[in-house]
Structure 1
Amino acid sequence: MDLLSLRYFQAVARHQHISRAAEELRVAQPSVSRTIIRLESELGVPLFDRQGRRIRLNEHGAAFLLRVERALADLDDARREMADAAGAGPGRVAVAAETLLQLAGVLAAFRAHRPGVRVHLSQAPVGSMRRHLSSAEVDFALASQPLAGPGLRSVELVREEVHLAVPPAHPLAGRDSVTVAELAGEDFVSTSAGHWQRALLDRLFAREGLTPRVVCEGDEAAATPELIAAGLGIGLMPAVARRTLGERSPVTWLRLDAEDCHRTLTLVWRENAYLSPAALDFRRLAMEQLMPGES
């Protein structure tokens, strides 16, 4: 069992597809297939269930993947730590975030403090963040939904109210607040399943024994105010969006009279992971820029 075999296995497990894994690894597909078969033979158990040309990680593969990702992440940490010790360049910080808007100020402060450090920022749903962290693809995840578990550490950065946005001519536009039960017959503009807006909407309605009627769903949350203003429906939006839009806001805002109607931004990292001096500075600046009372 060598390091290359483990990298190949990790890629195949991530994609559940030999060809896509080969594309990511930039090697020929037969090479990946032979490596996986050889690894399974060495371990004495199949790691994937196969049906024709389709493969799917089985229970043995899932258990093996947990340990492989932990081992490879530790090796990557060691490589970065030695590179920092050798003074090999200013380094890199990688962050996966559900929402990018509130990172702008943090990134500006970080680039001013460490101008030579490369920053790799990617937008990802919370379901992918755990994998990105466990495989050491990123140093931090900025999550708008709960992301906890063994091997993870976190700090709450922002807790903000979520409002209901309606078109200016909507019958509810003259109200200050509204209950979830009153919205049972309304059309909603929301994000796709997996994003925090949709998760919150589904949770609030489920608490009342209801299901929201979503008529528009997508991944472009920034388009939500314009779609609501166009009369397509109503929707949930965070306080930061209301502040950002200000007087230019094309929608009318109401308070949703519901318990726990807020969004929490949390910075998450792997427990015991090596964090470079640059990564430690990023975490400190994120806390200073976003946490109430920090300076």
Structure 2
Amino acid sequence: MKIDLVDLRLFVHVAECSNLTHGAGRAFLSVSAASARIKAMERETGQQLFLRGNRGISLTSAGEVFLRQARLVLRQMDFLADEMLNAEVGHIRLYANTTAVTEFLPEILALFLSDRPGVTVDLQERLTNDIIRSVVDGSADMGIISGEVGNDGLEAIRFSTDRLMLAVPNNHPLSSHDRVQFRQTLDFEHIGLHEGSTLLDFLRHQFRRNGYNRTLRIQVRSFEAMCRIIEAGVGIGIVPESAARRHVQTMDIKLLELEDDWALRDRSVLVRSRKSLPRSALTLIEMLIKTGAGGGRP
């Protein structure tokens, strides 16, 4: 097929924008040139790749396949440039859960990027299922999740553990305990994170399993805000140990271990294939492993 890299980049831009005009603009092409290139791609593949409508365009099933493969080809070209230039350059797309984005990745990425001026990172907070799907289809190079890893054909690299703990006010009825089971907490109001956070999604599953059907008392944007609301006596909440240990030093709260098996989860980096990653991505994975093994915040 006579399809070049300009065509592939255009296709990806248009597919991600669901709009020919916006996609053409991202590719620095006129709308007429972009339209001609897309029609040429459809002739070359013998497939209709887009459905055109009054509200924009959407991918056909063949277009979904083409998008997945186009992303992989473009990423491999970036990786090739990285290797041939003999320097750590390029762009890493990293999707991660709430705890990773807010608790330990900022410090690790700051250290990682300070020595690599040629590398850029696109870090996005996503739900676990979105992270897995994005790594599978090539829209993300790496994903960081906590908990069990499904059989999705991905390579999972464990680098640390994620322990969830219960934070309560120091004068709370549960504060006399050091350890509790999750079901013991269900008689009390719970504080949660914002909609779209991975931890909230995970805990809602545990709430449903245990018959807790009340609305969360309040939802906040950060673990610090959660702990301050708990300190004020509004409710109790489940937070990662890394955040809990930091905030208990400055707030009037107590931390209790959860006896449930699900409270201790593995943290893993997901990739399609470790061998195919560029040097910069491999270095970042090694930093995560080293930090986790050394008892750091991850």
Q: Shorter-chain TM-score: which interval?
A: 0.7 to 0.9
> Paired residue for 1:242?
244
Count how many residue pairs are aligned between Structure 1 and Structure 2: 289
Is the 1:242–1:249 contact (alpha carbons within 8 Å) kept by the matching residues of 2? no
- In 2, the alpha carbon distance for the partners of 1:106 and 1:174 equals 37
- In 1, the alpha carbon distance for the partners of 2:293 and 2:262 equals 19
Aligned pairs (5 A) from 1:131-280 = 133=135, 140-146=142-148, 150=152, 152-184=154-186, 186-211=188-213, 213-217=215-219, 219-271=221-273, 273-280=275-282
Alignment of 1:9 with 2:11, yes or no, is yes
- In 2, the alpha carbon distance for the partners of 1:29 and 1:248 equals 57
Is the 2:248–2:254 contact (alpha carbons within 8 Å) kept by the matching residues of 1? no
Change (3 A) 1:272 1:239: closer
Shift of residue 197 of structure 1? Answer: 1.1
Is the 1:160–1:239 contact (alpha carbons within 8 Å) kept by the matching residues of 2? yes
- In 1, the alpha carbon distance for the partners of 2:25 and 2:174 equals 52
- Range with greater deviation from structure 2 (158-167 or 186-195): 186-195
> Paired residue for 2:291?
289
Aligned pairs (5 A) from 1:21-40 = 21-29=23-31, 31-40=33-42
- Range with greater deviation from structure 2 (32-41 or 131-140): 131-140
Aligned pairs (5 A) from 1:15-164 = 15-29=17-31, 31-84=33-86, 89-92=87-90, 94=92, 96=94, 97-98=96-97, 99-100=100-101, 101-103=103-105, 106-107=108-109, 110=112, 114=115, 118=119, 120=121, 122-125=123-126, 126-130=128-132, 133=135, 140-146=142-148, 150=152, 152-164=154-166
- In 1, the alpha carbon distance for the partners of 2:133 and 2:125 equals 11
Q: Secondary structure at the match of 2:230?
A: helix
- Range with greater deviation from structure 2 (217-226 or 68-77): 217-226
Shift of residue 32 of structure 1? Answer: 4.0
Is the 1:117–1:278 contact (alpha carbons within 8 Å) kept by the matching residues of 2? no
Normalised by the size of structure 2, how large is the TM-score? 0.77
- In 1, the alpha carbon distance for the partners of 2:70 and 2:161 equals 35
Change (3 A) 1:39 1:223: farther
Shift of residue 201 of structure 1? Answer: 0.5
- In 1, the alpha carbon distance for the partners of 2:118 and 2:239 equals 33
Q: Secondary structure at the match of 1:214?
A: coil
- In 2, the alpha carbon distance for the partners of 1:40 and 1:267 equals 36
Q: Secondary structure at the match of 2:216?
A: strand
User: Match for 2:125: what amino acid?
Assistant: A
Shift of residue 27 of structure 1? Answer: 4.3
User: Match for 2:65: what amino acid?
Assistant: A
- In 1, the alpha carbon distance for the partners of 2:284 and 2:233 equals 41
- Range with greater deviation from structure 2 (42-51 or 59-68): 42-51
Q: Secondary structure at the match of 1:13?
A: helix
Percent identity (aligned): 24
- In 2, the alpha carbon distance for the partners of 1:131 and 1:26 equals 29
- In 2, the alpha carbon distance for the partners of 1:55 and 1:276 equals 33
C-alpha RMSD over aligned residues: 3.5
Structure 1 alignment gaps of length 5 or more: none
User: Match for 1:124: what amino acid?
Assistant: E
